[in-house]
Amino acid sequence: MKAMKTLAIVACLAAAACGEDSPTGPTTTNAVFNVALSAANEVPPISNAEAAATGTATITFHITRDTAAGAITGATVDFSVTLANFPAGSVARLAHIHTGPAGVAGPVLIDTGLSPAAAVALADGTGSFSYTGVAISPENATAVLVNPAGYYFNVHSVLNGSGAVRGQLR
């Protein structure tokens, strides 16, 4: 009887140890893209008063994966954007991730939430904004993570409604 109890305890401890090494719930990871923004990267390149505009964007994907298959089951995105070298008084009014390689304009894939109703005034030609927890589909997250160079981020201004500064994800 004592041997069976010992065997049961050993089996229980082994099962517990295996459980620690093999999680059964989903896992969450981050993918961070640091994007250099430039008016020269727009299609076509900006040649008006905002031609010297620049910026940076840190875009963080928070990815939830199914541990059994590794497939993305959920995702959110955080955006932190800093703009510089715009003419004083410029206004940033939209910002998105678009589908498209360098040199190609494409459709919006992920919207930040920046809108004309909540535009960012660049009183001295500089400014920043951030949006966190932007929900995206698992399919869109997968597409960006598989081929980041096939996507770009840009910020639209009042003067350049199609985009004032742009940078490819990498």
Q: Which CATH number goes with the domain that contains 39? A: 2.60.40
40 is a domain residue? yes
Count of domains observed in the chain: 1
Confidence at residue 102, expressed as pLDDT on a 0 to 100 scale? 97
Task: Confirm if 103 and 45 have CB atoms less than 8 A apart.
Answer: no
Confidence at residue 23, expressed as pLDDT on a 0 to 100 scale? 52
**CA gap 125, 3 in Å, rounded:** 79
pLDDT in tens, 3-59: 444 333 333 433 344 444 445 568 889 999 999 999 999 999 999 999 999 999 999
**CA gap 133, 17 in Å, rounded:** 35
9 is a domain residue? no
Q: How confident is the model at residue 69 (pLDDT cuts 50, 70, 90)?
A: confident
82 is a domain residue? yes
45 is a domain residue? yes
The residue range of the domain holding 32 is 24-168
130 is a domain residue? yes
16 is a domain residue? no
46 is a domain residue? yes
138 is a domain residue? yes
pLDDT in tens, 110-156: 999 999 999 999 999 999 999 999 999 999 999 999 999 999 999 99
- 86 pLDDT exceeds 70? yes
